[in-house]
A = this chain, B = another copy of it.
Amino acid sequence: METNNYSDDVIGRARVQDTPELEAYYKELETLGAGALWKVANDIEPWEPRTNSIPMLWKYDDLRSLVLKSSELVTPEQAGRRVVYLVNDKRKDVSAAVGWLYTGIQVTRPGESTSAHRHRASALRFIMEGSKGYTVVDGNKIMLEVNDFVITPNSAWHEHGVEPDGQTCIWQDGLDIPLVNALEANDYAVYDGKQPLVKPINHLPLSYSCAGLIPADKTWDKPYSPLFKYSWSKVYPALLDAQIVNHPDPFDGILMQYSNPLTGGHVMQTMGAAMQLLPAGFKGKAHKHTGSFVYQCAKGSGYTIINGQRFDWKERDIFCVPSWAWHEHHNSSDTEDACLFNFNDLPVIEGLGLFQGRDYTENNGHQLI
């Protein structure tokens, strides 16, 4: 039923030849804050999804020393948050790493802590280095370890720090600041002083620590996950469990979504996150879909081919896959598994009915580089 050669010279696309009379007409429209749709229709109605971002990879070997250097150059008090952010070459105007997602690398030294604040934008962290780091979200203090994933949702007061007897912590921040700004809804408030702790340390992660077991009083009424922290010490064994009893997905290996245990949905309303295990020797096939993704390698090494370009990664490297870009993941090792963390805008894309995907069918599913 659908004709699909993507030529604009067909019924149903704009094919008007400009004439002097039309040129005059356009000028008249312009004076009224109007225009002729057929002048822009083919441009604003592309045949397929179109991204403004390019694939990029940020090597941790390059960034780490600069990130640490920031801790010598500025204090948290001066900087607000001492963060090096990663910016897509095509999205500098909105400070995004890909699509409408922001990411940065934050360093906190033992004994340091940020001031508390909140914003309509949502945030998440993935821990890269250090020990005895913590976050305090709405008066709940949560301790963090390497490869833990933690959320600081929309409009929750939050602050972070490292205990005096800990080790310098580095973590990746993910935020939807560009999206919330684009939707003209962001705000910001600073907390006057430190948040008082309202619950024992790790109250929420310990109250929801077992799959399928929840507090019977059912007092949680927030639109985000009450679990808050997803510990690597539990997540990695679960990936191995899942690997025992499931065939790896041809595109994504063992792909598990971080979810809200009270809804089975995404952890927050605007950003999702997932962890995937690429078994030893895994050679993923290529597909593309809507949604923007920021990845961090949590374990092992490998490479991802994005729109025909190969990006090699190892532990702590960060890279992005834009919307509708062909991509396939490969584990370089034949003996060890590799793990990729990602966060994404799937709650937006899925929630608004905008998800679609396509498999790469040529060349046995693998792109030519």
Contact = CB atoms under 8 A, between A and B. Distances in A.
A290 B347 CA distance: 20
A190 B21 contact: no
20 contacts: A3-B190, A12-B117, A25-B73, A32-B58, A44-B178, A44-B181, A46-B181, A154-B353, A183-B323, A183-B345, A200-B244, A201-B245, A202-B245, A206-B241, A207-B242, A207-B245, A211-B211, A212-B230, A216-B255, A351-B351
Interface size class for chain A? 35 or more
A208 B216 contact: no
Contacts of A25: 66, 69-70, 73
Contact of A292 (B56, B102, B184, B192): B184
Q: How many copies does the complex hold?
A: 4
Contact of A246 (B28, B94, B215): B215
Interface string A346-359: 01110111111000
Interface in A33-89: 33-38, 40-42, 44-53, 56, 58, 62-63, 66, 69-70, 73-74, 77-89
A294 interface: no
B213 A258 contact: yes
A327 interface: no
Contacts of A34: 58, 63, 66, 84-87
Contacts of A216: 252, 255-257, 274, 276
A354 B16 contact: no
Contact of A213 (B41, B73, B257): B257
A258 B202 contact: no
A87 to B, nearest CB: 6
Contact of A182 (B28, B120, B182, B215): B182
A153 B89 CA distance: 34
Interface stretch (A125-133, A164-172, A259-267, A306-314): A259-267
B356 A187 contact: yes
Query: Which residue, of A16, A52, A178, has the highest number of chain B Cβ atoms within 10 A?
Result: A16
Nearest to A81: B37
A225 interface: yes
B184 A14 contact: no
A345 to B, nearest CB: 8
B50 A184 contact: yes
